[in-house]
Chain A
Amino acid sequence: MSLDAAKNAYTVGKSYGEIDNDILNPVEGFPEKRWWTWFTISLTGLLVYLGVIGYSFVKGLGIFGINSPVNWGVYIIGLVFWLEIGHAGTMISAILYLFRQRWRTSINRAAEAMTIFAVTTAALLPLIHLGRPWMVNWLFPYPNDRGPLWNNFNSPLLWDVYAISTYFTVSLFFWYMGLLPDFAAMRDRAVLGRNQLKAKTAIGEKLLDMRVWLLKVAALGWVGSGKAWHHYEKMVMLLAALATPLVMSVQSILSFDFVTSVVPGWHSTILPINFITGSIYSGFAMVLSLVIIMRSAFNMKAYITDRHIDNLGWVMLFTGMLVFFGYFIELFMAYYSANDFEQYVWTYRFVGDYAWAFWLTMVTILLPPHIMWFKKLRNNHTLLFIMTVIINIGMWFERFVITVTPVARDFLPSSWRLYVPTVWDVIVVLGEFAMFFTFFLLFVRVLPSIAFTEVKMDEAGDLAKGKGHH
């Protein structure tokens, strides 16, 4: 087989040194004005968000629109929304790894970063929703002087504590271990470049030394030894194999918060599956929007090719139809069960107080991915970007409908009450996005946003194939 024949849609075709330079360029240079603009906006949003959280601690949860039947407002909607976004990152980094999908290489670092930041954003929300966040330690079962007062181990809310903290820890380690060889490469570049760099001031010199030292610590003494690679590859495989059932379990456990209640519309065995398909859908939408921006901002078209964007789009079309199927089955079961309460939930969704949110959801999540059927439309990346943003707005409202409609009208008409978000709720929702984007903007400037070690590995594989070795 010739070298050209071995080339595929994902081959970068650059030397290893050029790959390093390309990917580390945004990290080693000084950010341009455009980045500072977006960063200032996000950071301001984050600070406002933290201010509102502080205000809610002082004033109490009464400032938000939550009330007695609708106890879970934007906080739990946000928790579900962000966790589901995070899960797509693990899908890409772990499940596509196990399936040996070559195209994950260029996007997995960004997707995993998205996971970490989304889970951080999500995990903050229930803590604020506790009402007394300074008692957060009560969530963990440790020997204490309060009786001892233990947790209720039968409660899905406690399962959530376990699931989310485990998920965060495992994702963080998985991400960091993937970064390890990249850190080592950055360290060696920094050590070499340190001799040529000269800062104007003594503090500048200190900072440059500190950068080298930090990279040394981060790289943990990785030198690319064959014996270490031997264990390393096993470890990545094992972590991927552990993360796969973990991500499924976290998503299911999150849905158990709803499912184990006896509220019609929540008390349904299809919800875990719906949460998983929904999470792939909204998460891939988020990955796709981030990747489209990243690729044009940092000129990474050689690494994130049109095929990558295309693949992400096809996954979204597929999962979008799965989400539709889930909705259809839920509706059908409500009809077929002949259960008055179950049917009322759907009637209420169709024509009730929140019908606008329900129909908005239906239109924004079910229609957009179908542009993938048309070649002209799917090759237009601006259009794809708009599609992903619309889908994510739709998925947020989907969580809104799922969380609010069943409890706003439950069994007793005397306890029916509407959930009307206040201005503080709106600030919290926008603040979540500001927090996420602040982290992500920092990430693209501090860490390599493409796993270049893996890119090099794939390139070497192509080369070996071209020479006819394997």
Chain B
Amino acid sequence: MPSFKEIKEGLFSYEEVDSGYVVRVKDAHDLLEAAKKVRDAGINRFDTFAPFPIHGMSEAMGLKRSWLPFITLIGGITGFTANISYIGYITLIDWPIIYGGKGFFNFPSMFPLFFEIMILFASLSTVGGFMALSGMGSINRKPPISEATSDGFAIWIGDAMPESEVKKILGSLAMEIRSVN
């Protein structure tokens, strides 16, 4: 059973770039190495920026497992039970009526409805969960380097430290170091 702190870290990991340094690196492979080095140096606040998902990056950054599947499961269960309750209420309590001799609440012939609403709720909660977990929605946010969505790779180190320390951690990987603000 994960602790409350772990759940919270796994849920809301996204942080805005508001302090420290943005370091540009050469390519996806260097970014992966840089992430490993920064994590091993014990830096708390850092993030990587790349135009596409990099294989192995989550492990390199030491990210906690995403709780998104759990949110999907909750959404699916909610949809399924909510729809059973709603249709159950309608067909058993509010206006009981027999169609085609099938009984009031005929589970097999109503199953498609439960299934569809389950999928709908699960999908919507997945999308909503993703937006919340990765901090989507502030439309004026800018990437730390403008090429980060095209062909640039950068790592952000948010902890307060002198620039020489950043240089020491990243070594030759750092191509350009810029302090935020």
Q: Which of B56, B102, B143 contacts A154 (CB 8 A)?
A: B102
Is B166 an interface residue when CB atoms closer than 8 A count as contact? no
Q: Which residues of A contact B54 (CB under 8 A)?
A: 226, 229, 457, 460
8 Å CB interface, B19-73 against A: 27-29, 35, 47-58, 61, 63, 66, 68-69, 72
- For B90, give the chain A residue with the smallest CB separation: A150
Q: Which residues of B contact A464 (CB under 8 A)?
A: 28-29, 55
The smallest beta-carbon distance between A379 and chain B, in angstroms, is 32
Q: Which of B63, B106, B137, B150 contacts A188 (CB 8 A)?
A: B150
Is A470 an interface residue when CB atoms closer than 8 A count as contact? yes
Q: Decide: A226 and B57 in contact? CB cutoff 8 A.
A: yes
Q: Which residues of A contact B47 (CB under 8 A)?
A: 225-227
The smallest beta-carbon distance between A109 and chain B, in angstroms, is 14
Is A230 an interface residue when CB atoms closer than 8 A count as contact? yes
8 Å CB interface, B112-168 against A: 112-113, 115-117, 119-120, 122-124, 126-127, 129-131, 133-144, 146-151
Q: Which residues of A contact B50 (CB under 8 A)?
A: 224, 226, 229
Q: Decide: B120 and A169 in contact? CB cutoff 8 A.
A: yes
8 Å CB interface, A118-156 against B: 141, 147-148, 150, 152-156
Q: Decide: B91 and A217 in contact? CB cutoff 8 A.
A: no
- For A243, give the chain B residue with the smallest CB separation: B123
Q: Which residues of B contact A184 (CB under 8 A)?
A: 143, 149
The smallest beta-carbon distance between A312 and chain B, in angstroms, is 25
Q: Decide: A231 and B150 in contact? CB cutoff 8 A.
A: no
Is A233 an interface residue when CB atoms closer than 8 A count as contact? yes
Q: With A and B bound together, what is the CA distance between A423 and B115 in angstroms?
A: 40
Q: Which residues of B contact A187 (CB under 8 A)?
A: 149
Q: At the interface, is chain A mostly helix, strand, loop or mixed?
A: helix
The smallest beta-carbon distance between A257 and chain B, in angstroms, is 12
Is B4 an interface residue when CB atoms closer than 8 A count as contact? no
The smallest beta-carbon distance between B77 and chain A, in angstroms, is 14
Q: With A and B bound together, what is the CA distance between A150 and B94 in angstroms?
A: 9
Q: Decide: A223 and B149 in contact? CB cutoff 8 A.
A: yes
Q: With A and B bound together, what is the CA distance between A467 and B27 in angstroms?
A: 13
How big is chain A's contact interface, by range? 35 or more
Q: Which residues of B contact A234 (CB under 8 A)?
A: 66, 68-69, 130
- For A24, give the chain B residue with the smallest CB separation: B150
Q: With A and B bound together, what is the CA distance between A16 and B122 in angstroms?
A: 35
Q: With A and B bound together, what is the CA distance between A148 and B96 in angstroms?
A: 11
Q: With A and B bound together, what is the CA distance between A223 and B88 in angstroms?
A: 45
Once A20-B151, A223-B149, A227-B14 are accepted as A-B contacts, the answer to whether A163 and B49 lie under 8 Å apart by CB is: no
Q: With A and B bound together, what is the CA distance between A216 and B124 in angstroms?
A: 22
- For B11, give the chain A residue with the smallest CB separation: A231
Q: Which residues of A contact B58 (CB under 8 A)?
A: 226, 229-230
Q: Decide: A242 and B143 in contact? CB cutoff 8 A.
A: no
Q: Which of B48, B91, B129, B137 contacts A225 (CB 8 A)?
A: B48
A-B contacts, 16 listed (Cβ < 8 Å): A141-B90, A154-B99, A154-B102, A158-B113, A162-B117, A169-B123, A224-B49, A226-B61, A228-B136, A234-B69, A242-B122, A457-B54, A460-B28, A460-B52, A463-B28, A470-B56
Residues of A within 8 A of B (CB): 15-17, 20, 141, 147-148, 150, 152-156, 158-159, 162-163, 166, 169-170, 173-174, 177, 181, 184-185, 187-189, 191-192, 216-217, 219-235, 238-239, 242-243, 245-246, 249, 253, 256, 453-454, 456-457, 460-461, 463-464, 467, 469-470
